[in-house]
Amino acid sequence: MFFATAPSATPAAARRAPAIVVCAALAIVALRAASVCAGTTEAHRAMVVAENALAADAGAEILRRGGNAVDAAAATALAVGVTNPVSCGIGGGGFMLIYLSRTHRFYALDYRERAPLAASATMYVRNGKTDEELARSGPLAVAVPGELAGLDAALKRFGTMKFSTVAAPAIRLAEQGFPATPHLVQDIARTMAQVAADPGLKATYLTPAGAPPRAGDILHEKALGATLRALGDDPAARFYHGAIARTIAGWMKAHGGLVTAGDLAQYHPVWRAPLHRGYRSYEVWTMPPPSSGGVVLEILGMLAGAPVSGLGADSPPYLARLIEVMREGFIDRAQYADPDFIHVPIEVLLSQRHIDEALKRALHRGAPAHLAPAADHGTSNLLVVDKDGNVVALTSTINTIFGAKMMIASLGLVLNDEMDDFAAGPGVPNVFKLAGTVANEIAPGKRPLSSMSPIIVTRHGRPVLAAGASGGPTIITGVLQVAVDVLDFHLGPAAAVEEPRLHQQAAPDVVFVESRMPAATRRALAQMGYRLKEVPALGAVGAITIAPGDLHGAFDPRKGGGASGL
């Protein structure tokens, strides 16, 4: 789908010293601070950025063995599912945005989880009242996972290696063990009671004494390793059919879940037409609904109405404009949903007329909209550029920390709680206060709306930037701000990722501001009438800037990770 390019503007350089940021906190769920800078790597041929260093190394290993970007992305995704099981894994799903240098074409693969066929819009209603906790943890929270179907589809269409080859690093990590990161330890401690209540999670992620591990302790996921090994070279067939599918379905039935063997057998990923829109002299490509990539494009479209680089990235005038266009973008996000079930008027939302009208509202703000915040914390992002110039931006999730807080122990499979990303009932907020809308209500086989918004930016038809994030709705605003920092303020990826960020999502009528935002800037925003809520950090963004023979990758210290180059 093509949209008119916004008018060009020549941005003035507005370089500034990168701020030292603290480590991750989401808008709603704050993580412990850490005074470290963004990790960065420079390379000449290929690059992998991921939210775990060993996972980035797994992708680089595949690139060194001659694999392409899709091969390396699959290897990295599988490895990060092992090393960061609180965020993603084969029990979840995601989106993959692919650029092929040979044809200069983009592809968008949707392998988001689906509601079971027995699901309904009233499945969480008890005694006439919606019990939203049923959508947040436990067997009724589980949607049909799409991760393996998506990776298999990408490998079969564009990969050069067999699944067993790209899965080998993840299998090795699961079976031989890997050191627990501070982020993983922190999330285990945060969900300690729920982890201890599930036999599989307890046996895998707690010490024999029943305590969380310490950072650096070696964890093993031997059952998960055996499952990955058993998938052979036909993972979709072996996971969604046969013995593994029967094990999943049997476990779900025994525990009161809805996912059946029929749900698994009927799951298929979807190749969708990617969205793109001009931004100054660039073209920004992203995932279509049920991703929120279109929201990023709409906000960029509003910013393109006038140069911002001359304002200064930490200046109150720039940030005030950013707050208002973010608000408008999130108001329109309420129209997003699974396009196979709901007509999403994406052509209208990304039209110049609509963007001009939204910008006019942003510049003349009235009463705030009555919407609620959203977030999907258990998410991970990775980026790959290979020696031939192919690019992959992939975001994967199991929704909240440890998903449904349940594991099928015999498979080592951590189950998602993706049903909470639907509207559990009219006006009922999910775990992160996203109020339900009709567009995103539960229906059999439907995919829930997601904040995941990976982007690839081109100039003169060639990629110059890839970015993506985790952190619920802060994915949208985090990707947006890093893109503007690179494209308008000409920062390198590490400096762009390190910059203090803010977040506004229409409601509550609060601007979340990172504590590293200059105090004078925060005071100025407060004097403008904005109600600020200071948080340690917002989301976690990864980025790679791309030029011939010159790749720079950065992962976000807010969550940690790794960048590995060749």
Q: Which two tokens stand for residue 144?
A: 């049909």
Q: Which two tokens stand for residue 518?
A: 């200059």
Annotated active-site residue 165? The verdict is no
Q: Which two tokens stand for residue 293?
A: 């990539």
CA dihedral angle for residue 397, residue 516, residue 295, residue 426, rounded to 10 degrees = 70
Q: Which residues pair with 179 in a beta bridge?
A: 218
| Contact of 452 with 287, CB cutoff 8 Å | yes
Out of 165, 379, 395, 545, pick the active-site residue.
379
Q: How far apart are CA 357 and CA 247, in angstroms?
A: 53
Q: Which two tokens stand for residue 479?
A: 């990707």
Sheet of 275-279, strand order = 39-43, 550-555, 540-547, 462-470, 455-459, 282-286, 275-279
CA atoms within 13 A on the CB side of 156: 14
| Contact of 83 with 218, CB cutoff 8 Å | no
The conformational region for residue 429 under phi > 0 = left, psi -120 to 50 = alpha, else beta, is beta
| Exposure letters 369-388 (e unless 16+ CB within 10 A, then b) | eebbbbbbbbbbbbbbbbbe
- The candidate with the shortest Cα–Cα distance to 551, out of 81, 63, 157, is 63
Where are the strands (E) in 304-452, listed by range?
378-385, 391-399, 407-408, 413-414
Active-site residues: which are they?
379
